[in-house]
């Protein structure tokens, strides 16, 4: 095993841990508030953590196969849907916007 492959495995582990920490962070806020936004973001970051974990065990392709792209795409689509849902919920006609 070369030094560069050991470093790439280490970096993949750090990224996986970072995604898992972010997922736990959003899960904690979802448990407190039951806001859908935090639940969806938690799910998206868990998908990214799983994707990084799988990619770290694949030494030959480094996550370049279609399955890895689909997991990342699903995670980012979830994030976009959560942000859009949050913004559309705040734009209801009966709700006043705060004055600047």
Q: How far apart are the first and last CA of the chain?
A: 59
Model pTM?
0.79
- Residue 8: what pLDDT? 79
**What is the C-alpha separation between 36 and 84, in angstroms, rounded?**
12
- Residue 4: what pLDDT? 76
For 99, which DSSP code? P
Give pLDDT tens digits for 17-73.
999 999 999 999 999 999 999 999 999 999 999 988 887 777 655 556 777 788 899
40 near 82, Cβ under 8 Å? yes
45 C-beta neighbours (distance < 10 Å), count: 23
**What is the C-alpha separation between 45 and 68, in angstroms, rounded?**
14
Token duo for residue 71: 């997991």
């Amino acid at each position: 095993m070369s030094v560069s492959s050991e470093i790439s495995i280490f970096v993949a582990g750090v990224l996986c841990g970072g995604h898992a920490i972010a997922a736990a962070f959003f899960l904690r806020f979802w448990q407190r508030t039951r806001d859908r936004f935090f639940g969806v973001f938690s799910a998206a970051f868990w998908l990214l953590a799983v994707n990084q974990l799988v990619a770290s065990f694949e030494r030959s392709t480094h996550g370049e196969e279609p399955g890895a792209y689909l997991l990342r795409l699903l995670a980012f689509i979830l994030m976009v849907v959560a942000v859009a849902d949050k913004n559309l919920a705040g734009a209801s006609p009966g709700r006043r916007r705060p004055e600047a």
